[in-house]
Amino acid sequence: MKRIVVLTGAGISAESGLKTFRDSDGLWEGYNIEDVATPEAWERDPALVQDFYNQRRRSVLEAEPNAAHYALAKLEAQYHVTIITQNIDDLHERAGSTNVVHLHGIITRSQSSVNANLTYPINGWELKMGKKCELGSQLRAHVVWFGEAVPMIETAAKICSEAELFILVGTSLAVYPAAGLINYVSHDVTKYIIDPNIPTVSNKRIVEMPYKATIGVPVLVDELIENAQ
């Protein structure tokens, strides 16, 4: 089966009602990123950070996958599909995708605040202060903050280097190191970019689809499935 690699960003989740990570005003749900998404913020006011992610988790659990999520899951019937997502929600999994790499973690899990490799499921939307990992350290949201390493980036780069077809959905390619992943895709591999605002990419074989994810992804998926039959 042909290997398709899909890189998704905030645009695909925005159509399910989830706010993008950094809107045009530089805020996330009215908060400065520096106050809720850095190790320093956690040191300063862990209760504030915990509450912020509890509210984001509740929003994620209330949201539903959209037509783009379901279309990508459908693609698995004819192709070997790996989704690399910059998003911290679980909408790809809930839509039925079985091979998802979360670059920035996933909000429905918690992690130890002293060892990021220790992760645990969260029952419901609330992660309480006082809930500790097996090392006795406070649990926090399993998300990668600004200033922290992106542990899955090397895995993602290898996956991109093996792509036989590459699809970019709902990302402006502004957040690094994720934005650099397209550079690991072979120059002779066709790359589809689905976004109302097509980012500038110095790469060969680009097919631009200037549409929202819920419009562009189902169209492309139907075309790819037809071609595979």
Active site residues: 104
Structure tokens at 154: 């090397």
CB-based contacts of 176, cutoff 8 Å, min separation 6? none
Taking only Cα atoms into account, the Rg of the chain, rounded to an integer number of angstroms, comes to 18
Distances (CA, A) of 164 to 76, 86, 161: 14, 21, 9
Residue 152 to residue 150: CA distance in whole angstroms: 6
Q: Where do we find the tokens 């097996």?
A: 134
The gap between the terminal CA atoms of the chain, to the nearest Å, is 12
CB 71 within 8 Å of CB 221? yes
Residue 67 to residue 75: CA distance in whole angstroms: 12
Residue 100, strand partner residues: 83
Structure tokens at 210: 């200037």
Residue 42 to residue 66: CA distance in whole angstroms: 33
